[in-house]
Structure 1
Amino acid sequence: MQSRAPLRAVEKKLRELLYSCNTKVENVLIAGIFNLSSSLTQRNGASVSLLETGSHISDVLDLFRTHGELSRTEVMEISGLSRSTVNQRLTSLLSGGLILPVKGGESTGGRPSSRFALNASRAIFLTADIGASGFTVAVCDLSGTALRHAKRVVDVWEGPDRVLGDVHAAFEEMRGDEDIWGIGIGVPGPVEFAAGRVVNPPIMTGWDRFDIAGWFSSRYGVAVVVENDANARAVVESRQHRSDNLISLKMGTGIGSGLVFNGQIIRGNEGAAGDIGHTRAAIATDVAALQCRCGNLGCVEAYASGWALVRDLQEEGLDVSSVSDVVDLVARGDISAVRVVRQAGRVLGEAVAELVSILNPGTIVVSGLLAECDEVLLSGVRERVYQRALPLATRNLTITTSVLGELAGVAGLALITADQVFHAATIDRLLTEAVASV
């Protein structure tokens, strides 16, 4: 027989709240509670709580992805699920090899409690962070850690077939005999996330609406996630800094920005949210606006990006041909390089200040090759952000560089791919296939 003790407690609370209400209304509500209780089903002889009817095995797996090692008791406490439900879901995850038992359970007088952890080595994700002039590819475990990675030089203007062909070749060189459960591709342009394709990219000639997801799924037969490269970095930085409200700035050949607020990626209606690189720079009105690679005049990228700095230093007679050359000059203390990079930081800071006032982030993280200029770049960003943004919005704001280096993009893509692969809508099929392959 089902226990009604929890329902009696609810009834007591309701009676207290409805004390002054019409008696007839009160009785109807209480009767409804008991009618609902009679419809609760039995699992292994125990009643199912109302909370459990809206939960899923993916929620339990997410606890291990978020918290690390957990005991059965800890899973019950965090999730609010009953022991029988937790046991059932742990058994399913163990059968599929998604979690593993680990040692170290604390004894409470009886036998040591069992502890479990995500089996990060159960399968891999292949990820590629494509930029304007090169890409980083990685083999990542299920926790998002890069196991192997490589860098390649490429020109994104050569089009999708050439670039994706190079990415595919790099994947094949690095993959071993591990099971591949998903692929994540980052691109430097707006993305229609659900369709897995780029939409009207400012600098990616020939890529508009190209089916990137279909290109890879036809070759690997797994889930493929396509994401804006700066968004991917925002996700991993958000988790790295434990910040639910964060702006990620990618400073390389071009400029990208990703937004994570309330713990979620902000993509916007067309996937173009946060693309400050192609907004109008704050420049003097009596100075002719510089042309951007996208074809417009006066974009932030035309003044503060890597390619713009290479152009400016070349005009001053310095021997530079790449963003790496600019970074090297700054590291050596070259006066001209330090000056233009600091000014680039100010231009970027002007653009970011508006986002700070509107969105009120807790953290701004700068990554990409130009981030290696560190305080030379950041000092200009901070100067303008604190000058232009609302004081309240900057009171607890942190502006810093990424510690993840060249792996920031591929790590973020692995996390986003894992979120999709382990989603409630897809994990049941994955578990079925995983159990069959164990």
Structure 2
Amino acid sequence: MFEPPPPPRAPAHRGAAATDGSAGSSSGVPGAGELLQLLRDGQPRTRAELARITGLARSTVSLRVDALLASGLLAPSGEAASTGGRPPTRFALNPQARLVVGADLGATHGHVALADLTGRPLREVAEHVDISAGPIAVLDWVVATIRRLLDEADRNAEDLIGIGIGLPGPVEHSSGRPMRPPIMPGWDGYDVPGHVRRHWDVPVLVDNDVNIMALGEHVTAHAALDHLLFVKVATGIGAGIISGRRLLRGAVGAAGDLGHVAAPHAPDVLCRCGNTGCLEAVASGQAIIKHLTTAGVPATTNSDVVALVRGGNITAAHAVRQAGRTIGEVVATCVSLLNPELVVIGGSIAQAGESLIAGVREVVYGRSLPLATAHLQIVPATTGAQAGVIGAATMVIQHALAADRVDEALTRSDRGGGPHAAVKAP
């Protein structure tokens, strides 16, 4: 069951509460946007409960609630027990108020989902898409698929508050442009947000596909944890890093690029990035396929590898286990540097079962310091193929429903922008 990420803690009351409905930023009194953060956990609350949690005056809370109700972001959600008189109404985030799009693009696949404001996919399409076809062909497919999903859901484009896209290569998150991606010819520096915004004037956020998978796995299955490392093993190898509940991207979006770390004790194998001995060159799905083919075991896709392991092929199981050991040597270093609470292994090769993860565990637990591994768990991903689209949608939701953006959008709505002006700030 998908759960939204926990909201920030309620701000402590500082000074006299505002009662005039202003945002109150100068006095430290939270505005409607901060009130919404409390209600993003899905737990309905009454005005009195919100006043007690925030320390605000009941009149201030009522003004904030009324503004959010008018925008549609908040909706009544049952009644609390009466203590005499009319039972008070509870309120909660209205997940259906707006829509977001999450798109996960891999080397050979495209997955697009229309999601609600909790990130839950409502409708989705997954097809074979070749990233090497170039940005125009691939992004035109994304645009056409979004139109198709909106039509199928019978929803208007005005309901859309943002689009999140994951790409299989380094991305400068601030601009949404791929940065010298090794498997994406023609994509370097391409204005991905600009291409999509020709069709919808909404925020378009772009990130590396492993980052959005890490975000999707975190909010879906491990929202209570502060520190998580997600490792994707598929056509390539990469990692997404959650530290202090925040996604770490690095200076230019290259954080977590495990696939092009030199693998210890690896043979001098040429990698598609131009270097030799990269982890991806010796332990990715493509490397395993090459090994099996050399050994006389027919395999041409990652799905073939998974089927062979599940079917009991000893050569395939041994190759995947050894790939896990090799990956574990690099992950052990990550564990020492980052000290995560959890390492999640995902990607298509991880679907082979315990062979890959057993190899990773074998080396990480043997090589890392006991202090770092005393409570460390290494587990398979639980979100499967939806991790990327959920993560991409969540990335947009976190951006669009941030407290300051909600307050700005509500102000624009009051000035005549209409209810759909809310949470549409770029």
Structure with greater Cα Rg: 1
| Unpaired runs of at least 5, structure 2 | 1-12
* Equivalent residues in 2 for 1:232-251, closer than 5 Å: 232-239=212-219, 240-241=221-222, 242-251=224-233
Distance in 2 of aligned mates of 1:52 and 1:106: 34
CA deviation vs aligned residue, 1:94-120 (integer Å, no higher than 9, x gap) = 000001101141223443222111111
**Secondary structure of residue in 2 paired with 1:185:** strand
Identify which range, 71-80 or 184-193, moves more after superposition: 71-80
The partner residue of 1:318 within 287, 291, 297 is: 297
| Unpaired runs of at least 5, structure 1 | 1-9, 11-35
Please state how far the C-alpha of 1:122 moved relative to its aligned partner: 1.3
Aligned residues of 1:199 and 1:208 also touching (Cα < 8 A): yes
Please state how far the C-alpha of 1:65 moved relative to its aligned partner: 1.5
Aligned residues of 2:268 and 2:276 also touching (Cα < 8 A): yes
Aligned residues of 2:173 and 2:252 also touching (Cα < 8 A): no
Instruction: Determine if the alignment matches structure 1 residue 398 to structure 2 residue 374.
Output: no
Distance in 1 of aligned mates of 2:254 and 2:23: 44
Q: 1:106 to 1:332 in 2, by over 3 A?
A: same
**Secondary structure of residue in 1 paired with 2:198:** helix
* Equivalent residues in 2 for 1:162-201, closer than 5 Å: 162-176=137-151, 177-178=155-156, 179-201=159-181
Please state how far the C-alpha of 1:257 moved relative to its aligned partner: 0.8
Identify which range, 187-196 or 339-348, moves more after superposition: 187-196
Distance in 2 of aligned mates of 1:47 and 1:182: 27
One-letter identity of the residue aligned with 1:435:
P
Aligned residues of 1:142 and 1:418 also touching (Cα < 8 A): yes
Instruction: Determine if the alignment matches structure 1 residue 381 to structure 2 residue 360.
Output: yes
Q: 1:42 to 1:152 in 2, by over 3 A?
A: closer
Q: 1:365 to 1:104 in 2, by over 3 A?
A: farther
Please state how far the C-alpha of 1:156 moved relative to its aligned partner: 1.5
Aligned residues of 2:215 and 2:391 also touching (Cα < 8 A): yes
Taking structure 2 as the reference length, what is the TM-score of the superposition? 0.87
Partner of 2:10: none
Partner of 1:264: 246
Aligned residues of 1:49 and 1:82 also touching (Cα < 8 A): no
One-letter identity of the residue aligned with 1:362:
E
* Equivalent residues in 2 for 1:68-87, closer than 5 Å: 68-87=43-62
Please state how far the C-alpha of 1:263 moved relative to its aligned partner: 0.8
Distance in 2 of aligned mates of 1:434 and 1:251: 46
Distance in 2 of aligned mates of 1:436 and 1:268: 34
Aligned residues of 1:246 and 1:361 also touching (Cα < 8 A): yes
Please state how far the C-alpha of 1:245 moved relative to its aligned partner: 0.4
The partner residue of 2:200 within 206, 220, 237 is: 220
Aligned residues of 2:217 and 2:382 also touching (Cα < 8 A): no
One-letter identity of the residue aligned with 1:136:
H
**Secondary structure of residue in 1 paired with 2:28:** helix
Instruction: Determine if the alignment matches structure 1 residue 348 to structure 2 residue 330.
Output: no
Please state how far the C-alpha of 1:70 moved relative to its aligned partner: 2.3
Aligned residues of 1:137 and 1:171 also touching (Cα < 8 A): yes
Distance in 2 of aligned mates of 1:302 and 1:50: 52
Instruction: Determine if the alignment matches structure 1 residue 118 to structure 2 residue 93.
Output: yes
Aligned residues of 1:234 and 1:247 also touching (Cα < 8 A): yes
One-letter identity of the residue aligned with 2:313:
D
Q: 1:52 to 1:97 in 2, by over 3 A?
A: farther
One-letter identity of the residue aligned with 1:193:
H
Aligned residues of 1:282 and 1:350 also touching (Cα < 8 A): yes
Partner of 1:20: none
Identify which range, 63-72 or 329-338, moves more after superposition: 63-72
Aligned residues of 2:18 and 2:24 also touching (Cα < 8 A): no
Taking structure 1 as the reference length, what is the TM-score of the superposition? 0.85
* Equivalent residues in 2 for 1:50-61, closer than 5 Å: 53=28, 55-61=30-36
Aligned residues of 2:42 and 2:93 also touching (Cα < 8 A): no
Aligned residues of 2:165 and 2:206 also touching (Cα < 8 A): yes
Q: 1:250 to 1:79 in 2, by over 3 A?
A: farther
Aligned residues with identical type, % of pairs: 42
Please state how far the C-alpha of 1:302 moved relative to its aligned partner: 0.9
Q: 1:342 to 1:422 in 2, by over 3 A?
A: same
The partner residue of 1:156 within 119, 131, 146 is: 131
Q: 1:85 to 1:304 in 2, by over 3 A?
A: farther
How many residue pairs are counted as aligned between the two chains? 398
Q: 1:41 to 1:381 in 2, by over 3 A?
A: closer
**Secondary structure of residue in 2 paired with 1:60:** helix
**Secondary structure of residue in 2 paired with 1:165:** helix
Partner of 1:407: 386
Partner of 1:231: 211
Partner of 1:298: 277
Please state how far the C-alpha of 1:56 moved relative to its aligned partner: 3.2
Distance in 1 of aligned mates of 2:105 and 2:319: 26
The partner residue of 1:278 within 260, 280, 283 is: 260
**Secondary structure of residue in 2 paired with 1:204:** coil
One-letter identity of the residue aligned with 1:277:
G
One-letter identity of the residue aligned with 1:415:
T
Please state how far the C-alpha of 1:436 moved relative to its aligned partner: 5.8
One-letter identity of the residue aligned with 2:419:
V
The partner residue of 1:416 within 384, 395, 399 is: 395
Distance in 2 of aligned mates of 1:389 and 1:74: 47
Q: CA RMSD in A?
A: 2.4
Q: 1:51 to 1:249 in 2, by over 3 A?
A: farther
